[in-house]
Amino acid sequence: MTRLAVTTQAETFERMRGPLADRGIEVVPVQAKERTLSVAGGERGDSATDDRQADLPAVDVGFVYPSRAMEGGVVDALLAVPWVTDREGVLTSRNKAGVLAACAAADLPVPQTTMVSNPVDDATVAEALAEFDAPVVVKPNSTTRGVGVVKVSDPDSALGVTDYLDLVHDYRATGDRSYLLQEYLPDARDFRAMVVDGTCVGGVERRLDPEAVESGHWKHNVHRGAEAVGVDLPERHRRLAESVAETLGTDYLGVDLLESGDRLVVSETNARPTIDAATKYDAGFWDRLAALIERTAERSDG
């Protein structure tokens, strides 16, 4: 039985255990953070390597590289197995501006977006804002779950938000000192398409409760209260999601699409997408995912 390292013990872990076990793959929990890990044994001798490896279970393949790059580097070295989505795949997807730039270069539709790399002065930000119609979305370049995303309708409010970002970016330990200015798409429908091994295998539409919309809410993140509803994605949405995964070179990817009027654009991607209930995906989803895992595991044998 192939042993698969999974570094998240949330919904995805629980949902994948049974279906993958039925297909000869054991899902093995690996705790990559909020713990101690022996990295080097000093002068303890050859037994130090065995001690370090004993901190983690024996596995044949990893699912998605750990969310924290520093801890991931240690876990990756100790496990010494290939990943379905490796470090490069996770970091590529986390860089929202990089994803949009790659998609735009491949002639894939994306919203009007400007990346701001701090430090810059207010005049530079104001000049960039002048290129957009209000309102404008301001979002950090590398956060998830809608954290830090705001919508502003005037230059003073926008500069007030960027003042706070300046304070955060002034801290020397902050790794990412960039953020995005992005056009706001009114009344947009928000879709998450799942792509496995080059094929879109279905997806969900993230919907807000009508009362939430009436009270002014506009973010469609599930972690902010939206509901992920299984939908039959149109062919146009599927082909676009597949093109994004091909452009980024990622075999397992969640692609966020916004549909507003006749426009369909790539919003961002997630290389660590939550696996939803199987009823929200096409028939054969688990078979395709299992085949991808097994093929990745074979790389360790080569």
172-199 residue pLDDT tens: 656 778 999 999 998 899 999 999 999 9
For residue 270, what pLDDT is reported?
94
Asked if residue 208 lies in contact with residue 217, where contact means CB atoms within 8 angstroms, the answer is yes
- Write the CB contacts of 225 (distance below 8 Å, at least 6 apart in sequence): 208, 209, 212, 217
For residue 4, what pLDDT is reported?
98
- Strand positions, DSSP E, the chain: 2-6, 25-29, 61-64, 83-85, 113-117, 136-140, 150-152, 178-183, 189-196, 199-207, 227-231, 252-260, 263-270
Encoding tokens for residue 147? 């954290």
d(CA 205, CA 237): 12
- Per CATH, the architecture of 112-183 is what? 2-Layer Sandwich (3.30)
Confidence (pTM):
0.89
d(CA 45, CA 76): 22
For residue 29, what pLDDT is reported?
95
Max Cα-Cα span within the chain: 66
C-alpha to C-alpha distances, 79 to 29, 90, 108, nearest whole angstrom = 13, 18, 37
Question: In 3-state terms, what secondary structure has residue 244?
Answer: helix
Asked if residue 228 lies in contact with residue 222, where contact means CB atoms within 8 angstroms, the answer is yes
d(CA 179, CA 176): 8
pLDDT, tens digit (0-9, with 9 covering 90-100), for 69-125: 999 999 999 999 999 999 999 999 999 999 999 999 999 999 999 999 988 899 999
- Per CATH, the architecture of 2-85+294-301 is what? 3-Layer(aba) Sandwich (3.40)
pLDDT, tens digit (0-9, with 9 covering 90-100), for 132-153: 999 999 998 986 655 778 889 8
The dotted CATH code for 186-281 is 3.30.470.20
pLDDT, tens digit (0-9, with 9 covering 90-100), for 194-252: 999 999 999 999 887 777 667 666 666 666 667 888 899 999 999 999 999 999 999 99
Query: Residue 278: pLDDT band by 50, 70, 90 thresholds?
Result: confident
Q: For the beta carbon of residue 132, count every other beta carbon within 10 angstroms.
A: 17
For residue 217, what pLDDT is reported?
63
Minimal CA–CA distance to 2: which of 290, 289, 287?
Answer: 290
Burial of 110 (0-12, 13-18, 19+ CB in 10 A): buried
Q: Mean pLDDT in the chain?
A: 88
**Domain parsing of the chain, residue ranges:** 2-85+294-301, 112-183, 186-281
